[in-house]
Amino acid sequence: MPDPDASANPLVPRRLAEAFRAEVDERVEDGDFAKREEVALALANEVVRGDLTAALESIVASHGTEDVLVGDDRYRFHEAGSQSYASFVGPLDVERPTFRKVGVRNGPTVVPLDLAAGLVHGATPAFAERIARGKGKVTSRDLFDDLISSRRVPPSRTTLENKGNAIGSSLHRRQAVVRAVARRAETLPDGARTLVLGLDRTSLPRVWGRPFAPNGRSTRVIPRSVRLPPGSSRGAPPVMWPNMRDAHHTTTCEYRAMGRLLILSLTILSAVGCTRYTGAVALTPAENGSTWVFIQTSKDRNTGVYHCAPPQAPGGEATCTRVVLR
């Protein structure tokens, strides 16, 4: 990640900076600073786009048409073709060949350029990461608007949606490998001396659609907000009955010396999926001397009570810096 406090001027050669400024001056003419900023950003996109395209073409030229080995499989030159790769600075149009697996009729094909350059589903590595992060937070429409407002040159919203889905599907198929790599990279925070793991059950509300009322209830309950006016052609909504169910949850506590809590992580295991919340936390000692945590989520304002620490941990000194409820 670039350092926001560092100056970029020492990293730019003087001749490059002078040539860039001269080109901007010529394009801006008598425009104001806002115009100059727009022109400078557009020119930077053009320069980077040309450099990235030339770099990909040089990789293609270095490979040639010789057989390539992918894992234990040999692939032979199939045909020449072209591809437009998405990036922050616009499409990168490159002429590149494809190779077909040897010994298999109409077998699978590979693009050596994609493997050598780390291209992901027709996108550059940095842009593929931005798509994955953006799709995990907002819709493709919002992601497209964010990129445009940042003076980037993204592909269409439909292309962003398709590439995001393809990247997500690939990560899902390789989640075991991704999880193993991520776990090996995890480290304990500075000052952690003890790691406490717990498994318990808690009550979660869940709404069930049932053809009949449970627990002897026979009254049809429809909220006033969804009652239909007389003569409406729409059908009535299905009857939903709230029920409480038991769900297992795991608790991970990382302690400093003297029993002070560093990080508390809670994971709710549910058959219908996992939902991530981040809420305010207050720790109070329970009657039996253990510590309990009260979590109020910002989404539905429900309050849950979860076992936080074993009885031997001093609850009065416990302080929590981060809570993740999934």
The answer as to whether 315 is a domain residue is yes
Residue 288 confidence (pLDDT) above 60? no
**Band of pLDDT at residue 274, cut at 50, 70 and 90:** very low
The answer as to whether 27 is a domain residue is no
Output the CA torsion sign for 42, 43, 49, 52.
negative
Q: Which of 159-163, 241-245, 292-296 bottoms out in mean pLDDT, i.e. has the lowest?
A: 292-296
**Overall number of domains in the chain:** 1
**Beta carbons within 8 Å of 142's beta carbon, 6+ residues apart:** 134
Q: Which of 165-169, 178-182, 315-319 bottoms out in mean pLDDT, i.e. has the lowest?
A: 315-319
Taking only the tens place, the pLDDT of each residue in 43-57 is: 999 999 999 999 999
Rg (CA), the chain: 29
Look up residue 205 and give its amino acid.
P
Task: Say what the pLDDT of residue 5 is.
Answer: 56
Better-predicted residue by pLDDT, 283 or 131: 131
Task: Say what the pLDDT of residue 201 is.
Answer: 66
Task: Say what the pLDDT of residue 90 is.
Answer: 94
**Band of pLDDT at residue 236, cut at 50, 70 and 90:** low
**Residue 30 burial class via C-beta count within 10 angstroms: exposed 0-12, middle 13-18, buried 19 and up:** exposed
Pairing of strands 109-110, 92-101: antiparallel
**Band of pLDDT at residue 272, cut at 50, 70 and 90:** very low
Please tell me which of 40-54, 180-194, 225-239 the model is most confident about, judged by mean pLDDT. 40-54
The answer as to whether 290 is a domain residue is yes
**Band of pLDDT at residue 17, cut at 50, 70 and 90:** confident
The answer as to whether 155 is a domain residue is no
Look up residue 210 and give its amino acid.
R
Residue 271 confidence (pLDDT) above 60? no
Taking only the tens place, the pLDDT of each residue in 61-91 is: 998 888 999 888 999 999 999 999 999 999 9
Mean pLDDT of the chain: 73
**Residue 294 burial class via C-beta count within 10 angstroms: exposed 0-12, middle 13-18, buried 19 and up:** middle
Residue 296 confidence (pLDDT) above 90? no
The answer as to whether 275 is a domain residue is yes
**Band of pLDDT at residue 136, cut at 50, 70 and 90:** confident
Residue 157 confidence (pLDDT) above 50? yes
Per-residue HEC secondary structure of 164-181 comes to HHHHHHHHHHCHHHHHHH
Task: Output the DSSP codes for 212-252.
Answer: S-GGG-------GGGPPPTT--SPPPPPEEEEEEEEEEEEE
Full residue range of the structural domain in which residue 309 is found: 194-210+239-325
Encoded tokens for 20: 């860039």
The answer as to whether 311 is a domain residue is yes
Task: Say what the pLDDT of residue 229 is.
Answer: 62
The answer as to whether 171 is a domain residue is no
Better-predicted residue by pLDDT, 18 or 209: 18
Residue 313 confidence (pLDDT) above 50? no
Task: Say what the pLDDT of residue 187 is.
Answer: 76
Average pLDDT, integer, range 279-293: 44
**Band of pLDDT at residue 240, cut at 50, 70 and 90:** low
Encoded tokens for 326: 């999934």
Task: Say what the pLDDT of residue 72 is.
Answer: 86
| Total-model pTM | 0.60
* Alpha carbon separation from 303 to 59, 158, 248, 325 (Å, rounded): 57, 40, 17, 12
Residue 267 confidence (pLDDT) above 90? no
Residue 323 confidence (pLDDT) above 60? no
Task: Say what the pLDDT of residue 242 is.
Answer: 58
Reading across the β-sheet that carries 109-110, which strands appear in turn?
Answer: 68-70, 73-85, 92-101, 109-110
The answer as to whether 172 is a domain residue is no
Task: Say what the pLDDT of residue 174 is.
Answer: 87
Taking only the tens place, the pLDDT of each residue in 105-124 is: 888 999 999 999 999 999 99
